[in-house]
Amino acid sequence: MNSISTLYGELNGVEFRQLFSNKKIDGCLVSEKNVLTTPYGSLVPIYETEDMGRRSIKPVYFYKNGALKSLPLQSQTVLDTPAGKVPAELVTFYRDGNLKRVFPLDGSLSGFWSWKNEFALSEEVELDTPAGRIRAKIIGIQFYENGALKSLTFWPGQSVTINTPIGETNVRKGIAFYESGAIRSFEPLCKTGIETPVGLISAYDNEPNGIHGDINSLQFTRDGAIEALSTVEHEVEVSIPGKGVKLFKPGVKKNVCGDERKVSVPLKVRFTRETVIFHDNQDYSFELKNCGFSVRKTVNATEEPAYSCAG
Higher per-residue confidence, 291 vs 52: 291
Strand duo 218-220 + 183-188: pairing: antiparallel
pTM for the complete prediction?
A: 0.87
Query: What would the mean pLDDT of 247-255 be, rounded to a whole number?
Result: 88
Higher per-residue confidence, 49 vs 216: 216
pLDDT of residue 311: 36
pLDDT of residue 23: 57
**pLDDT tier at 49 (50, 70, 90 boundaries)?**
confident
pLDDT of residue 305: 55
Query: What would the mean pLDDT of 11-28 be, rounded to a whole number?
Result: 70
**DSSP string over 109-136:** -SSSS-HHHHHHH---EEEEETTEEEEE
Dihedral angle, C-alpha 252, 254, 255, 261, nearest 10 °: 80
- What is the C-alpha to C-alpha distance for residues 216 and 305, in angstroms, rounded to an integer? 18
Contact between 290 and 241 under an 8 Å Cβ cutoff? The reply is: yes
- What is the C-alpha to C-alpha distance for residues 290 and 30, in angstroms, rounded to an integer? 64
pLDDT of residue 4: 87
Contact between 170 and 161 under an 8 Å Cβ cutoff? The reply is: yes
> Lowest-confidence range among 158-162, 236-240, 255-259, 270-274?
255-259
Query: What would the mean pLDDT of 62-87 be, rounded to a whole number?
Result: 93
Assess whether pLDDT exceeds 80 at residue 187.
yes
Query: What would the mean pLDDT of 213-220 be, rounded to a whole number?
Result: 89
**DSSP string over 202-215:** EE--SS--SSSSSS
Contact between 173 and 202 under an 8 Å Cβ cutoff? The reply is: no
Assess whether pLDDT exceeds 70 at residue 139.
yes
**pLDDT tier at 284 (50, 70, 90 boundaries)?**
very high
Query: What would the mean pLDDT of 60-86 be, rounded to a whole number?
Result: 93
pLDDT of residue 91: 97
Query: What would the mean pLDDT of 132-140 be, rounded to a whole number?
Result: 94
- What is the C-alpha to C-alpha distance for residues 221 and 183, in angstroms, rounded to an integer? 8
Q: What is the tens place of the pLDDT at every residue in 234-243? A: 999 999 999 9
Residue 73 phi/psi, 5° resolution? -100, 145
Average pLDDT of the chain is 87
